[in-house]
Structure 1
Amino acid sequence: MSIQQKTTPTSERPVRLRLTALERKASMLLALLFASRMLGLFLLTPVFAVVAQTLVGGDDLAKVGLALGAYGLTQAVLQIPLGMASDKFGRRPVIVGGMLLFVAGGVVCALATSIEWVTVGRCIQGLGAVSAAISAWVADSTRPEVRTRAMAMVGGSIGISFAVSLVLSPLLVGQFGLSGLFWVISLLGFVCLLIAAFVVPNAPISRAPINQVPASAVLRHADLLRLNLGVFCLHFVLMSLFIVVPGSLARLGNFDSASLWQVYLPVILVSFLLMVPAVFYTETRKRHKQALELAVLLLVVVLALMPWVGTTLPGMIGMLILFFIAFNILEALQPSLVSRVAPAEYKGMALGFYNTTQSLGVFSGGLIGGLLLRSGHGSAILWLGSGLSLLWLLTALGFKDKY
């Protein structure tokens, strides 16, 4: 008994390894870089379906959806190639180059007077597909024992940046107009460029470059495929939902693009207050599989009921709160699970595929949502999202409960 009493405390200590000062600095700066970049991308989402009408051709909802999701297509194409380039040439130069393209695309959008030129600018923004390179830089900067925690910081920053965009976007549009919003997005990109170029500390590149591992290794991994399907569905649902929501809020509560924050702010605050205990319970009790399944089930139910419950303003607000509880849990949980699930020898490629399928979800959700809404099938967008989420739930049931 005395031996056990002496060894138990010491045996527990390795489990509670802390980030070193350098790891903490690198992780926080890279999470800030990721969040600032994603904020620049997300700022357009909450208001564009309404404010696009000020552009030539902005009354064509299919074109609006294409412009909203266009950056996802070019990101999907270049995510893995730029991840590989960062293995060969270094994380910093690839990310700096990507942010230059992001800024250039934002400037094109700011100067645009038609929906077509906004689409061109969004495509240029997407060419700066540096998510995989940032994730790889996080991996380079941290020990394996604490890497999941660092990856969770980056993953959580996506949900936070979208939450901030919901409130900030209507205020910026109300103050500066659509062109001013794009100038702010370009400024955010420039800030990211400065952080990447001068602030994030150097880290040795992992000597297991993603281009030395066959793609089939990732494509044969069942749980990684489940996570990839999940992030595709999540961002498809997000982008298609925000083709519908701004117009619905404008009709139900007579909100214009500048006053939508009055709905978005309480929605985000309440959803975060309800989401935090769920995330804390998941992490402390190691209930990742159960949290994944319950959050996806919540998406299925909310999207299926929204065409009926969301016909009044209080009903729509309630549905949005429930949606964002699920969204924020999944947005933080999934990247953490990727870092847990993927073997070390192809973690970089796994993150590349994950970010690629996320971008494809953004593109597909914007395009298909716009096409359906133009055809007068707004409810079909929500039911399609519910059906995709149900497919995701059925596949998630097979997820191994060992991570």
Structure 2
Amino acid sequence: MLDLHGEHMNVRETRAVVGLALVYAFRMLGMFMVLPVLATYGQDLAGATPFLIGVAIGAYGLTQALLQIPFGTLSDRIGRMPVIIVGLLVFAAGAALAAEADSIWGVIAGRVLQGAGAISAAVMALLSDLTREQHRTKAMAVIGMSIGLSFAVAMVVGPLVTRAFGLSGLFWLTTGMALLGLLVILLVVPRASRTLAHRESSVARQSLGITLKNPELFRLNIGIGVLHAILMASFVALPLALVDLGGLPKEQHWWVYLTALLVGFCGMVPFIIYGEKKRQMKRVLVGAVSMLLLCELFFWQFGTSLHALVLGNVLFFAAFNLLEATLPSLVSKIAPAGGKGTAMGIYSTSQFLGAALGGMLGGWLYQQGSLDAVFIGCALLALLWLGFAATMREPPYVTSLRHPLSAAGLADPGLNARILAVPGVTDAIVVNEEAALYIKVDTQQLDRAWLERELEEAPVTQSA
């Protein structure tokens, strides 16, 4: 469990991780490629208004938010593969519907249907089924990196594809990537021998109420919702600002996003290292939210030239990437032992709701006022978030572990108390229905030898 021997993933696990990361990346590419182009190219669609374009930008988030937890629960009952296969087909159908649309309403319908292919929870659960305990954290990190990379690629590829083939071609490419993901699922990803209940990657319904009431997790849920609301609203305004104020043709926007993402990514790395090593994640979070606020104010007051807009984009994406990487880590630290899956499920729902509301808000503000109204609205959202972030506690710097138990281990009445007595163990819970012990440890204070001795006395079952 503690991965003391540095054992590598086997071939089956590697196939599972690579295959599922590709499925995630193909889907996220299709979802995000429209962001930098819909505000400009969408104006040519019949019935298009700024508000409806904003709705189209964020529409996927509404159905994604409503369905991702139910689909994850359904995958526990009927299996991961059927849910993922149907979800990819629904996503492809939504992209095809948008590709065939000649009105903004058709694109909205397609984006709503895309979001209904909500397979995120099922994919993460399948990843848990196909990997052993000691490799699960690494496997999930690979999935996280694939999401970040696909967002960066989408910001660059979206404008290039749309310049060459139009919005219809972009959506047809999205359809093709969803079907390619389906082939990966069918031909590359191994079949799981069994479906595992796993609280680190799936939602436990009995924990929903407690998790929703946790004030520190609530702050993070507000944060990710606001972050994606600002992102979607900003993409109603930024492409138009580059054209109208920066004088940059929409066909050339790709290099702005490429520059912003590359520089922004390099800029965020030192802050993540500082926050983790110095245990100053709250300071990093508050600083990044403040930067996001300043960026929106900068766009409002000074975003009247191409140079200013490029600089603003660089700073915006540096703050966005830092927050996007930091928030899930904070959720993992703050969630109680055995509660990460539930906390992440609510967190993801908040993210998608924020995306849906942000697109609508950005479109409405632009229609009612101007680009300035969008930037001011985003600044107010960032200011609201800053208030929540500034009052949060410094998070615990802990790592989650899971130890499978045999019947003898489950029958040991003193096991949980002995584990909690180990220096550096901050939380522990035995989950009988999973035959597992969940532990949270502070690695800098953990008496590893003591923990190993206690776990050796708790017989284990064979993990997946």
Q: By the TM > 0.5 criterion, same fold?
A: yes
Deviates more, 1:106-115 or 1:381-390: 381-390
Aligned to 2:248: 255
Aligned with residue 384 of structure 1, among 377, 394, 397: 377
Map residues 259-270 of structure 1 onto 2, 5 A cutoff. 259-270=252-263
Aligned to 1:188: 177
Shift of 1:327: 0.9
Query: Is 1:306 matched with 2:299?
Result: yes
Shift of 1:373: 0.3
* Aligned-CA RMSD value: 2.3
Q: Distance in 1 between matches of 2:180 and 2:107?
A: 22
Instruction: Tell me the matched-pair count.
Output: 390
SS of residue paired to 1:210: coil
Query: Are the counterparts in 1 of residues 334 and 396 from structure 2 also a CA contact under 8 Å?
Result: no
Aligned to 2:70: 81
Q: Distance in 1 between matches of 2:18 and 2:264?
A: 24
Aligned with residue 51 of structure 1, among 33, 37, 41: 41
Query: Is 1:94 matched with 2:83?
Result: yes
Query: Is 1:206 matched with 2:196?
Result: yes
Q: Deviations over 1:311-355 (max 9, x none)?
A: 221111111101101111121222233333333534333222122
Aligned with residue 238 of structure 2, among 239, 242, 245: 245
Shift of 1:122: 0.8
Query: Is 1:337 matched with 2:346?
Result: no
Higher helix share: 1
Q: Which has the higher contact order (CA 8 A, sep 6+)?
A: 1
Aligned to 1:34: 24
Query: Are the counterparts in 2 of residues 49 and 64 from structure 1 also a CA contact under 8 Å?
Result: yes
SS of residue paired to 2:251: coil
Shift of 1:214: 4.0
Amino acid at match of 1:97: V
Q: Distance in 2 between matches of 1:292 and 1:237?
A: 16
SS of residue paired to 1:213: helix
Q: Distance in 2 between matches of 1:206 and 1:299?
A: 40
Query: Are the counterparts in 1 of residues 330 and 395 from structure 2 also a CA contact under 8 Å?
Result: no
Q: Distance in 2 between matches of 1:346 and 1:206?
A: 16
Aligned to 1:137: 126
Deviates more, 1:367-376 or 1:144-153: 144-153
Q: Distance in 2 between matches of 1:391 and 1:365?
A: 14
Shift of 1:169: 0.9
Deviates more, 1:296-305 or 1:35-44: 296-305
Query: Are the counterparts in 2 of residues 83 and 352 from structure 1 also a CA contact under 8 Å?
Result: no
Query: Are the counterparts in 1 of residues 247 and 306 from structure 2 also a CA contact under 8 Å?
Result: no
Aligned pair in 2 of structure 1 residues 92, 346: CA closer, same or farther (>3 Å)? farther
Unaligned 5+ runs, structure 2: 398-464
Unaligned 5+ runs, structure 1: 1-12
Aligned to 1:172: 161
Aligned to 1:152: 141
Q: Deviations over 1:222-276 (max 9, x none)?
A: 2222221111011101000000001110113333332211322222222122223
Q: Distance in 1 between matches of 2:331 and 2:191?
A: 24
Aligned pair in 2 of structure 1 residues 135, 229: CA closer, same or farther (>3 Å)? farther
Q: Distance in 1 between matches of 2:208 and 2:178?
A: 31
Deviates more, 1:30-39 or 1:238-247: 30-39
Aligned pair in 2 of structure 1 residues 292, 135: CA closer, same or farther (>3 Å)? farther
Q: Distance in 1 between matches of 2:138 and 2:330?
A: 11
Aligned pair in 2 of structure 1 residues 310, 286: CA closer, same or farther (>3 Å)? same
Q: Distance in 2 between matches of 1:380 and 1:16?
A: 57
Query: Are the counterparts in 2 of residues 152 and 336 from structure 1 also a CA contact under 8 Å?
Result: no
